[in-house]
Amino acid sequence: MVSCEDINLCGITEDDLDMGDAFIETTSYFMNVVSRVDEAMRNEDLQNNGSITVDFGTSNVICQDGKSRRGKISGSITGDYFTQAGSINLNLTGYHVDDVPVVGNIAVTNTGQTANNWVISLVSSNFTIGTEYNYNANLSMEWESGFTTTDSIEDDVFELYGMADGNDLADTISFSTSFTENMRFERTCQYVVTEGIVDVSLTSGTSEVANVTVDFKDEDGCNNVVFLNANCDGTEVSFPHTFDGF
């Protein structure tokens, strides 16, 4: 294993692994919006006549994760979110995180059960974070526990898998993903994601590496360290990287 500060091998530096960082950043923003709406669907005070609104107001407020937010996450509800075919179409209005505008729409649909686990589909083709990233997703949340206990999120555990791609606009590169091992989300963990392996591949632009593996190691439990791995002349080099949480 090599740390970020060590001399680079094969010309690889942490900057060359920006694809991995872009995946973590975009997916964390995306899933934070989804999670806030999922929590809101368990609070009748935030629902009104077939719609739901999470309103941070017009001035920044500091949230539990230490980030400032303003603006609205709103959606129209069709059917019952907690039963098959229930759906929410989400929109972001004036939504900012740490003064960075986040825009886009997300279609959230209950697709029924797989092996007694409820599965929620997440689809977006226009999720954009400031001038840094845009992101397209066709993902699934498969709930291991907590989906039907609507009075609490403490027992919420689900796995995320599917397809996502995006663009790192600052570095002019595009990437796509493949989930080797599902990302596991546990809401009792401060950083939420506790395990998972995702392969991130360069689809356009220039980079020293064409593939980066993002590894949320299961053996290290709940922390904010992920490893970005790349191939160095047949040998895997690994760069530890911290993330803010999901």
Q: Return the closest-CA partner of residue 68 out of 101, 45, 28.
A: 101
**Residue 167 contacts residue 153 (beta carbons within 8 Å):** no
User: Which tokens hold the place of 101?
Assistant: 């505008």
Mean confidence (pLDDT) of the chain: 88
Strand partners for 121: 109, 140
Q: pTM of the entire structure?
A: 0.90
Residue 13: predicted pLDDT: 66
Could you tell me how many residues make up the chain?
A: 246
CB proximity list for 25: less than 8 A, separation 6 or greater: 129, 132, 133
Q: What is the CA radius of gyration of the chain?
A: 18
Distance, CA of 215 to CA of 199 (rounded, Å): 9
Both structure tokens of 205: 């632009």
Query: Tokens 């803010």 — which residue?
Result: 244
**116-173, pLDDT tens digit by residue?**
999 999 999 999 999 999 999 999 999 999 998 877 788 899 999 999 999 888 888 8
Distance between CA atoms of residues 43 and 198, nearest Å: 33
pLDDT digits (tens, 9 = 90+) for 36-50: 999 889 888 888 889
